[in-house]
C-alpha cells in the first residue's frame, strides 16, 4: 500500500481527511476485536499514538487526529461496552472546544499505565 493511502506520512504530515477511509480499511473482525473490549481499544490507540510520536507528530497533531477518529467512531460505530458508551455520551454533549480538549485527554489516557 502506498504512503498516500495513510493518514500520517513518513514526513510527519497528517491527512486528516483520510481518517474515515483508513479506519474503514480495518478488517471487520479486527475492528470488532478492538472495539469489543475497552482495554483492547486503549492498547490499539496506544500503539498508534506511540508510532505517531516516533515519526515526530506534535501533541497538537496527535490531538487533531484523535478528534477526527472520535468523530468517526461517534458517527459510525455503536459503543460495545460501558466505557465506550460513556465516551460517546461525553463526546455528544461536548462543545467543539471541549471535544478538542477531550481528544487530547484521550491521547494521554492511551499512553498512561493501565494498572
pLDDT tens per residue, range 40-67: 989 988 998 898 888 888 888 888 888 9
* pLDDT tens profile 64-97: 888 988 998 899 899 999 999 999 999 999 999 9
- Asked, for residue 4, whether it belongs to a domain, the answer is no
pLDDT confidence of residue 115: 45
| Gyration radius of the chain's alpha carbons | 14
- Asked, for residue 76, whether it belongs to a domain, the answer is yes
Q: Please report which confidence band the pLDDT of residue 6 belongs to, taking 50, 70 and 90 as the band edges.
A: low
Domain that holds residue 65: 12-111
- Asked, for residue 46, whether it belongs to a domain, the answer is yes
Query: The domain that contains 31 carries what CATH number?
Result: 1.10.760.20
Q: Which long-range contacts (CB under 8 A, 24 or more apart) does 47-54 make?
A: 49/107, 49/110, 49/111, 50/111, 51/8, 52/8
- Asked, for residue 7, whether it belongs to a domain, the answer is no
pTM: 0.78
Amino acid at each position: 500500500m502506498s504512503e498516500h493511502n495513510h493518514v500520517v506520512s513518513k514526513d510527519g504530515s497528517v491527512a486528516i481527511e483520510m481518517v474515515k477511509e483508513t479506519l474503514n480499511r480495518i478488517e471487520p473482525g479486527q475492528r470488532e476485536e478492538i472495539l469489543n473490549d475497552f482495554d483492547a481499544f486503549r492498547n490499539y490507540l496506544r500503539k498508534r499514538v506511540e508510532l505517531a510520536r516516533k515519526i515526530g507528530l506534535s501533541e497538537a497533531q496527535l490531538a487533531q487526529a484523535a478528534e477526527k477518529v472520535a468523530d468517526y467512531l461517534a458517527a459510525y460505530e455503536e459503543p460495545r461496552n460501558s466505557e465506550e458508551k460513556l465516551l460517546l455520551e461525553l463526546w455528544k454533549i461536548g462543545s467543539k472546544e471541549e471535544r478538542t480538549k477531550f481528544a487530547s485527554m484521550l491521547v494521554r489516557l492511551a499512553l498512561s499505565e493501565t494498572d
